Amino acid sequence: MPPSLNSRPLLYLFSLSILLASSVSQLSAIGVVSKDKKDDETNFEELNFTFDNPGWPWVSINATTLSEDATVAYRKTINDAYFLIIGEKVGVEYGFTSEDLVESSKSNMMAISQNVEFSESTKVQINGIEWLNFTGKVSLMGEPLVYGYLIHAKNGFGYQLITWRSGEFPELAKSDILQLGENFKLVDPELVHNSEEFEPVASFQDAATGFSIDLAGENWTTWPIGPSEFPAAVFTATKANEIFFFAVPLYHEGLNPSFKDLKNGLLAHLFNVDTSNGLKSRDRIVREDGERFLQSSLSFESYYGDTNHLLIQVRRLKGFSYLLGAYSLDESLLTDVEPIFGKVQIDEAIDVERISQTLSQEVKYFQSQTLNQLAINVYSQNNYVNAKRFLERALEFDTSDPAIATNFAAVANDQGDFQSIIDLFKAAPDDFAENVQFLEYYALALYRSNQTEDAEKVYLEVFDTGNMSEAGLYAYMEMLALQERWADGVAIAEDFSDLTGSQLSRQWTASFCIEIEEYEKSLAILDELKDEMPFDLSIDYDIGNTYLSQEKYSKTLDYIESLGEEIDSYPMLYTLQGNALFGLKSYVKAKESYQKAVELNPVDEEAKTMLEYATLALGKGDTDVNNTPIAPVACPDALMAIGYEMEDKASESKESEILYTLLSIHYEKEKLSKQTRRTKVAIRDDAGLDAYSTLSFSFDPFFEEVYVNEIIVRNANGDVIGRESREDFYILDDSTEEIISQDRALYAPVSGLTKDSTLEYTVTYNTTGLIDEFPLRWESFTYFQKSLLCGVSVAGETGSVASYASDGVSILEDESALIWYAQDVPNYKVEYYQADLETFAPHLVLAENSKNWKSEVDEYFDEIADRLVTSDKIAELSSSLLAGAESEKDKVAAIYGYIQKEFTYKALAFGPRAQIPNTADQVVSDKYGDCKDLALLANRLLDAAGIQSYLALVNTGARIKTELPSLDQFDHMILYLPKHEGGHFIDCTSQHVSLELSTPLGLDERQILILDWDDPRFVESKAQVLEENTINAERVVELVDEELRVEETLRLTGLPAAFFRSYLSGIQESQTLDTFQALMSSRTNLNLRLENVETQDTELADKPLRIVMRYNIPRAIKQTSRGFTLSALPSIWEHYYLEVPFVRDRKTPFEIRTPLRFDSRVTMVTPPGTRLSHSAIIDVKEDTGYHVYSHSRVADESLKRITVNNSIQLLAREGAPDRFDAFQNSAHDALSLVGDSLEFEFAQ
């Protein structure tokens, strides 16, 4: 005997009652009407269905036992199954379909259990009714249940037939429901149920607003929620609950808004639609019975994500307008709406003023907000007059709205109508008592109206609220500045700063402190602000201005120059720079700065005024030096003939190219030496125009003078279209930020230059004194453009000239001169890992042939003999530095460390006329020096300690031509310790390089001249050593949800450590996190979020540099059917140091001079329930000739604890251009393993 219903687990009844109750609840929410229950009847006419009793083994039970909304319920006495019917009247207007009812049923089931499965819905025909049939399977409290469904919804009725039983086989439930469905029939299949909430609308008339509409025979009904959706509408209606119509008036008496402004304003407020922000509408003007309307259609996304399609008509009448509109989710239905617009009648004879006074508060709010939106729209079109008028009308509807009042004040302020703001406040002061923004405008209006006492009272009132804005503070401080109340301003700004921490208030404090000469306080505030906001150039301006106010002109310039190219984005810094230069009477440079300031900011009145002063101060100035003619040196006919041939062979290239550039030198001992350069350029592109629009010629004013013989510009026909204009020439210093020199540059603007023109110019240099030897000349035949011919000739005492000509340079036999030339020389652009230019580009070196290295060194020692004396001061300093140092190695380290830490390096190129160092005593006093100053100081300190060392000379960018003895070949001085580590070089300018490094930074494999009085000699420096340049990265990785959390520790030695220490030295501590975030983000596509950075041993060059970073990578995994994929292992620094960019069509050879070893290890534990996929375990080793790398992934037996080991060695190599792709591919292959993805699977 089957158990009774009450003996079944209550879970059945409880879960199902929840299921059905929630279903009915959802249906009721959209308007389902309740119905009476008739448990004992088989005919349910109210619900339009009948159900035949299925007979044994099914027995009827009380339906409300299972659900209060059930109509029929049965229990199967065999197999203990259950069945019920829920019949409901929804209303045809809601458009509820069988598919909607299926989704509702499924949603309800999933609400009580996540462990549920459904079959696909299929259509079945039973008794002429089309049902949707599906099954479900669910586990409740560990017991499996299966369900069968038949769902039908049509004509406003909805039916759910549901059966269920325990077990694992949904087919049984399906069989039951299909059999029981045979017993269900509709009384009238065509019967339609209409909701009582939707009443037919035949016509509507509102006498007050003059609106009427005739909808007879159009099947429109009332719209139940229309009045709440559109409170300001006089009429709303719907058609089949699919199209929704509304009519909204806007009262704007005395105003004449445009159709477009009306449309945009109404849509913005009614639908939150911004048609000015890329949303397109289709507008047209409709003419009907002598009237003109705007008709517009558009589509936009609703709050719920649906696409609404809207058709509107804007009718503009006298004193008011109407927005008629309808919207639907189905755009095709809107074709039924346009005829309805024609059924609308609006009486223009209404009393707008009277209606405006009788509007409800809710409608007034709509009117004011819409007019405010209209004002915003026309304000954005710079129509300030109408914006103000709309706001005035909006205030008539609502004077207390702070946004409208503030907008009105803003517009009135822009127009200079301060009295309107004052009048508005006086009309209703209580409305604005707590409107701080408006009060600030009110105070500003009083201030601009010269009512400063009243203005200050209001400002103080606002200030006391604690809600003053920075704009309000700005205006208040401006008023105090005009009154020169500096101390009061400092007090106010400091109080505001204490209250808000505002940057602006602190800047005002600093600015006012300058006026009361509290410079130190001003700088302290500004330095603190700079730490917090390192990229705010207004702070930099204030810092520079503080120095300038103290007449510290050089300090002002040093500070501005430290900002680099950033000042282009803040032109006032150029004005400040000009003021400092003007104070130093450097009028040429001051003029240049003012010109730049005006160029970037044409409204800078101070810069324009000071530009006039600088121009007056200059007069003709230094330009006179250009007007002393110097006759050019003749070019040998044989070389000139080749030049003319090159003109005829000019290529068809679209790029500019040098047709020829010919240098002619005339040299005789004990006489003046001259040289002339003749150049002809074919200008064909913008690059050529930029490069040659102004010519520049560097010269040393203490050694030579320069004269531009001619500049000629010709058009394609050979006609002269431009010549030199000497009055436009000017001279500037030719030093750079990196290297200080005494050189200057003559600038010659070129007029008439165009594309397809040619430029010819001749310039001559003349020594200012007699010379007794041929000066070193290094002539590179590589220029900005391709050169068809580069030539050099030497006439005069040619027997005194020794030469070195590289490959690609030809010698031309000629009786009148020595001649060298190169043809078709490419424009070698800078490329990654480029070898030294001299190794592949043609070049020529000329020097005196009567010299030898011993005589050169002897002459130099004669010049610096007085510097090679160790003073008592230096001896005492050496002794104090070496206190406690026992070994020679420790002593060298102590002196080297002292120079690294205590001295500033200022570059002054070692070369002709810049070879004499300062005395060691002077360098110690100055606390700075160039390479020769610091090298000499170290030499003297070591000498006092009894440690042998030699000054040494090296060329940092080119290889020495040992066959041409001349100290002018060198550009850098270092130190050589013959007994330290078997011979060791030290570069005293390398502040962050370890003494233990085998070779100083950038000086590997160089021929270095040892300045040994007895035995001057060349010693080749060592190559960089792989084991010295290392980076080790330890990464501990944790996966939390989908976020990768990484703690990474970098350990750097050798040159990587030196470069990074140098980089860190330029970063203020407060900038560290942001700087590292930008640096790391630039090397990865991941959305990396840096949380913390710690650096260790940044000042200790002899120790490894350690950097600890903690960062997160969101959305780091992708789910798969078997588990998930970690998209990429973190490998930011490997890419930073080892990535090789692609170079298209490489032209130059490459060279890897600094080998590097990068080792990394990643450790992580897989998330619970997962493990590393077996396929992810790999072990790879490879030697490509450019890289030696290995990559292994290992895991414990559970595959849950993972270690990934990587090692990449970048080898010292060189290669031809066509081998660069192989090098780039090698780097790519090595890095692709380091940053590869990892596959994880769910643990079984």
Which candidate, 187, 55, 56, places its Cα nearest to that of 127?
187
CA distances from 1110 to 417, 860, 1089, 1091, 1130 (A): 56, 55, 9, 6, 12
In the chain, % of residues over pLDDT 90: 34
Q: How far apart are CA 357 and CA 353, in angstroms?
A: 6
Q: Residue 740 gets which letter from DSSP?
A: B
> What local confidence, expressed as pLDDT, does residue 1008 receive?
95
Residue 390: the pLDDT is: 85
Q: CB neighbours of 437 closer than 8 A, spacing ≥ 6? A: 402, 406, 409, 469
pLDDT score recorded for residue 124: 95
pLDDT for residue 978:
93
390 versus 588: the higher-pLDDT residue is: 390
* Torsion angle of the four alpha carbons 635, 637, 642, 646, in this order, in degrees rounded to the nearest 10: 70
CA 1140 → CA 1059, 1131, 1150, 1217, 1222, distances in Å? 18, 15, 12, 14, 11
Can you spell out the DSSP letters for 107-172? HHHHHH-SSEEEPPPEEEEETTEEEEEEEEEEEETTEEEEEEEEEEEETTEEEEEEEEEESS-HHH
Mean pLDDT value across residues 706-734: 87
Whether residue 924 has pLDDT greater than 50:
yes
3-state SS of the chain: helix, strand, coil percent to 5? 35, 30, 35
CA–chain centroid gap for 108, Å, is 47
Tell me what pLDDT residue 278 has.
56
The pLDDT tens digits for 1109-1153 are 999 887 788 888 888 888 888 888 999 999 998 888 899 999 999
Phi (first) and psi of residue 1140, to 5 degrees? -115, 110
| pLDDT surpassing 60 at residue 3 | no
Which of 911, 931, 926 has the alpha carbon at shortest distance from 971? 911
Higher pLDDT, 32 or 497: 497
> 1010 by DSSP, 3-state: which?
strand
- Lowest-pLDDT range of 208-217, 277-286, 934-943, 1070-1079: 277-286
Domains of the chain by residue range: 5-186, 203-352, 625-848, 853-1023, 1027-1242
Residues 222-233 pLDDT 10s:
888 888 888 888
CA-CA distance, 1230 to 531, in Å (whole number)?
40
Q: Quick check: 508 pLDDT over 90? A: no
Residue 551: pLDDT above 70?
yes
* Domain made up of 1027-1242: CATH architecture: Sandwich (2.60)
Scanning 584-726, the segments in alpha helix (DSSP H) are 587-600, 605-618, 637-648, 686-692
Radius of gyration of the chain (CA): 44
Query: Which range has the worst mean pLDDT, 34-48, 178-192, 529-543?
Result: 34-48
**593 with 578: CB under 8 angstroms?**
yes
3-state secondary structure at position 1194: strand
Average confidence score pLDDT of the chain? 85
Q: Is the per-residue pLDDT at 425 higher than 60?
A: yes
pLDDT above 60 for 861? yes
| CA separation for the pair 1062, 1044 (Å, rounded) | 31
Q: Which two tokens stand for residue 60?
A: 């009827």
**Per-residue pLDDT at 586:** 65
Query: Is there a shared CATH topology between the 5-186 domain and the 203-352 domain?
Result: yes
This prediction has a pTM of 0.54
Answer for the pair 550, 578: CB distance below 8 angstroms, yes or no.
Answer: no
State residue 963 phi and psi, 5-degree precision.
-80, -5
pLDDT tier at 994 (50, 70, 90 boundaries)?
A: confident
Report the CATH architecture of 853-1023. Roll (3.10)
Does position 937 have pLDDT exceeding 60, yes or no?
yes
CA nearest neighbour of 75 among 56, 52, 94? 56
Asked which of 471-485, 591-605, 1138-1152 is least confident by mean pLDDT, the reply is 471-485
Closest CA to 924 of 933, 914, 913: 933
Q: Residue type for 606, please?
A: E
How many other C-beta atoms can be found within 10 angstroms of the C-beta atom of residue 85?
A: 22
Label residue 771 exposed, middle or buried (CB < 10 Å: 0-12, 13-18, 19+): middle
Q: Read out DSSP for 876-915?
A: HHHHHHTTT--SHHHHHHHHHHHHHHH-EE--B--STT--
At 279, is the pLDDT very low, low, confident or very high (cuts 50, 70, 90)? low
Question: Which has the higher per-residue pLDDT, 40 or 940?
Answer: 940
Identify the CATH assignment for 203-352 out of 3.40.50.1820, 3.40.50.720, 3.90.650.10, 3.40.1000.10. 3.40.1000.10
Position 715 scores a pLDDT of 93
Q: What is the pLDDT averaged over residues 653-664?
A: 91
Is the Cβ–Cβ distance between 226 and 86 less than 8 Å?
no
Per-residue pLDDT, 82: 92
- SS3 label, residue 1113: strand
Relative to beta strand 904-905, strand 928-929 is: parallel
Q: Does domain 5-186 have CATH number 3.40.1000.10?
A: yes
CB of 123 closer than 8 Å to CB of 132? yes
The pLDDT, as a whole number, for residue 37 is: 37
What pLDDT is recorded for position 171? 92
Roughly how many angstroms between the first and final C-alpha of the chain, as a whole number? 43
pLDDT confidence bin for 26, thresholds 50/70/90: very low
Q: Is the pLDDT of residue 414 over 90?
A: no
Of 154-168, 278-292, 410-424, 507-521, the one with minimum mean pLDDT is 278-292
CATH number of 625-848: 2.60.40.3140
Closest Cα to residue 1030, out of 1142, 1106, 1089, 952?
1106
Separation of alpha carbons 652 and 660, rounded Å: 16
pLDDT at residue 15 is higher than 80: no
The residue ranking higher by pLDDT, 888 or 305, is 888
Rounded to an integer, the average pLDDT of 113-141 is 91
One-letter amino acid of 820: W
